[in-house]
Chains A and B, each alone.
Chain A
Amino acid sequence: MDIAPFTGYVYPNEGVIQWSVMIVIYPYLTGLVAGAFTVSSFYHVFGMQRFKPVARLALLTSLCMMIFVPVPLLIHLGHPERSMYSMITPHLTSAFAMFGFFAAFYMVLLMLECWFVFRVDNVERARNSTGISRAFYRAITLWSDDTSPGARALDAKLLLMLAVIGIPSAHGLHGYIGFVYGSLKARTWWESDLMPVIFLFSAIVSGVALLMVLYVVSCKIRRVKIDHGCLKGMMYALWGFLMFTLILEALAFANLVYKGREGVEVIIEYVQGPLFFRYFVLQFAIGALLPIMMMGLMVALNIKGRIFVIGATICALLVLMNVLMMRWNVVIGGQEIAKSTKGLLTYHLPLWGSEGLVAAIILTLAPFGLLLVLTRLFPPWADPPNPL
């Protein structure tokens, strides 16, 4: 077993950093689930027409991410075969005991919503295909073939209901992840009342940013015109939520330093030293301030056309990096500050192994592989009817 290098004094048992890169990926994927769902809700719940081109893509993205959310946890567990104990015999005082229920509930809700959103399309595909393809789509529609206006109206009604329930569910799931960290009083870096809120808002920005990138990339692949109104709408959402998230994060940090509780010296040493680049440079400066300024500039100068698309996509990519760094800095950062309040540890990310860099990259990219398959089976672009 590798001992994490440390400075100062750390408790002997802290020599192994327990929550690895997998526990960084886990909230990252969960955040993308919630954020993608938010984009879908802009259209499906709030009726914002400019988000129509990405609404169904957002829903599929949310589903693909959600399918992979439990994977990093299962990889990380010492006994993954016992994971169901948390649902069979949940220990109700545990912040984590509810994860299985929340996740399962949200997964069912997401699948139901996808089913209603794609139902009419799938009925049409079943009608227009033969053989295995027909059988597949018939099975997917659960052998319903009613596309009458009445049935569609009922679909829309149920869809709205599901989407409305989905908003608190998706955001509750992610706010709850923030609570898993924020409620731990043993680690000063985590113990913050703002943690669930920060997780929630960073989730929204990550989802919006992801949809911006996916939308632009998918349009390029499909060689269709990008709906600038839609992209701009997402950029505005990203801009606004990002500013809010940045302020929340800054407030949480200021609060921690200003209170100056026991151990603050080591936290200051940490942020000025090992964390400086990851926290102030990557997460705050390049990942948040730069895109905020770039988007502000694009709005102020009313940048249009190709430069707008490139600029917006770069901003979205930067924000995706920002949120990944935020997850890393919370999960790994919290553990690099020793509970002894007298020392700092250094996490070493192995290249190989079940909790190594390669596994983390594969796991992060896996939902996109699934998304590629699902967009072939259930093209989300068929709707809206207006040409792109």
Chain B
Amino acid sequence: MKNDRKKNQRREFLSATGKALAGLGVIAGSGGLLSGSTKGEESAADATSESFPTPDYDWTKHRWAYGIDATKCIGCLRCVEACKAENDVVRDATHFRTWVERYVYLEGEEKARVDSHSDPQNIAASGSEAEYRFDNRYKDAKVTKAFFVPKICNHCTHPACVQVCPVGATFRTEDGVVLIDHDYCIGCRYCVQACPYGARFFIEEEGVSDKCTWCYHRITKGLQPVCVDVCPTRARVFGDLNDKSSTISEFVDNNPVQVLKPESGNGPMCFYIGIDKDVS
């Protein structure tokens, strides 16, 4: 059953990739939106997890980091769709390696109204837990400020999830990516509890914890994480901090960046610009 799910998702992904590439081809031809967004020339099909681990990859030579420009996110959720397909993530409303939050300030209200695509109203609007979209609930409201915030595992420098794993099944790589060895995870879910960002979830069918890997099977081949690749507005950027000319280095160097919940002491490596006081 698990294999069927994987096969189906792989098929869906390849189909979706085909459509996406066709669509993006038009965009690229008309304005070059994708130019410079990926470093490698390999196709996505070459970056499947079957060809992982990547031969000759030297993890001591990289220091990966992630950037999110909330002012650019339009809440299209292509990132969520692509991540689900690329990483065989269960297609429901409670298992996400990445998700997007919507913050809306209405006239006369001090606190933001927050929802994500997992909100029951949004699920009702999409018609399925496996389809992701934001409804149009604020159509007639007086909105003073609104923005979307993409969320993802922060791949912290001092990750609480790694600290609490009783068997060391989750670990931080030399290049700064927090991974989980699914063959060693005992499924205690202590890491899920320890992550202050809610970035981890449990795969019931497999009895193990899971989370974003920054598409480690892709980045070690010179590709971008799939969520970065499919973002039409380049709200998500990724790269190597060791490379001073990389997109992420420029993002961090040229902007006043923030991290989420710095008081946790986890040292997130996901940097934000354009987020507001209510984002946590």
What does the 1/0 interface line of A346-365 toward B look like (CB < 8 Å)? 00000000000000000000
Q: Which residues of B contact A3 (CB under 8 A)?
A: 93-94
Q: What's the least CB distance linking B154 to chain A, in Å?
A: 12
- What are 19 inter-chain pairs, A to B, with CB distance below 8 A? A1-B92, A12-B99, A12-B118, A14-B198, A16-B94, A16-B202, A18-B192, A76-B188, A79-B185, A82-B167, A90-B166, A91-B168, A96-B166, A184-B164, A185-B160, A185-B194, A185-B264, A339-B195, A340-B280
Within 8 A of A (CB), among B179-194: 184-190, 192-194
Q: Which of B118, B162, B164, B192 contacts A96 (CB 8 A)?
A: B164
Is A94 touching B166 in the complex (CB atoms < 8 A)? yes
Interface SS of B by simple majority: loop
Task: Tell me the complex Cα distance, A80–B169, Å.
Answer: 14
Q: Does A148 contact B (CB under 8 A)?
A: no
Q: Which of A16, A90, A99, A342 contacts B201 (CB 8 A)?
A: A16
| Chain B minimum-CB-distance residue to A16 | B94
Q: What's the least CB distance linking B79 to chain A, in Å?
A: 13
Is B94 touching A15 in the complex (CB atoms < 8 A)? yes
| Known contacts A185-B264, A186-B264, A340-B198: A9-B114 contact under CB 8 Å | yes
What does the 1/0 interface line of A11-25 toward B look like (CB < 8 Å)? 111111011000000
| Chain A minimum-CB-distance residue to B198 | A11
| Chain A minimum-CB-distance residue to B118 | A12
Is A93 touching B187 in the complex (CB atoms < 8 A)? no
Task: Tell me the complex Cα distance, A94–B204, Å.
Answer: 23
Interface pairs A-B: 8 shortest CB-CB: A78-B187, A78-B207, A11-B198, A15-B94, A91-B168, A12-B118, A9-B114, A186-B196
Size of the A side of the interface (Cβ < 8 Å), in residues, is 44
Q: Which of B94, B116, B167, B264 contacts A89 (CB 8 A)?
A: B167
Q: Which residues of A contact B114 (CB under 8 A)?
A: 8-9, 340, 342
Task: Tell me the complex Cα distance, A338–B196, Å.
Answer: 10
Q: Which of A12, A13, A94 contacts B163 (CB 8 A)?
A: A94
| Known contacts A3-B94, A85-B167, A85-B184: A18-B189 contact under CB 8 Å | yes
- Which of B166, B189, B197 lies at the interface centre, i.e. has the most chain A CB atoms within 10 A of its CB? B166
What does the 1/0 interface line of B153-171 toward A look like (CB < 8 Å)? 0000000101111111100
Size of the B side of the interface (Cβ < 8 Å), in residues, is 49
Task: Tell me the complex Cα distance, A14–B119, Å.
Answer: 12
Q: Does A95 contact B (CB under 8 A)?
A: yes
What does the 1/0 interface line of B124-163 toward A look like (CB < 8 Å)? 0000000000000000000000000001000000001011
Task: Tell me the complex Cα distance, A85–B207, Å.
Answer: 15
Q: Which residues of A contact B252 (CB under 8 A)?
A: none
Q: Which of B93, B99, B193 contacts A184 (CB 8 A)?
A: B193
| Chain B minimum-CB-distance residue to A78 | B187
Q: Which residues of B contact A340 (CB under 8 A)?
A: 114, 198, 280
Q: Which of B166, B201, B204 contacts A97 (CB 8 A)?
A: B166
Is B118 touching A15 in the complex (CB atoms < 8 A)? yes
Q: Which residues of A contact B196 (CB under 8 A)?
A: 185-186, 339
Task: Tell me the complex Cα distance, A80–B93, Å.
Answer: 27
Q: Does B199 contact A (CB under 8 A)?
A: yes
Task: Tell me the complex Cα distance, A344–B84, Å.
Answer: 26
| Known contacts A18-B192, A78-B185: A89-B93 contact under CB 8 Å | no
Task: Tell me the complex Cα distance, A18–B95, Å.
Answer: 12
Is B193 touching A187 in the complex (CB atoms < 8 A)? yes
Task: Tell me the complex Cα distance, A71–B275, Å.
Answer: 45
What does the 1/0 interface line of A69-109 toward B look like (CB < 8 Å)? 00001001111101101100111011111010000000000
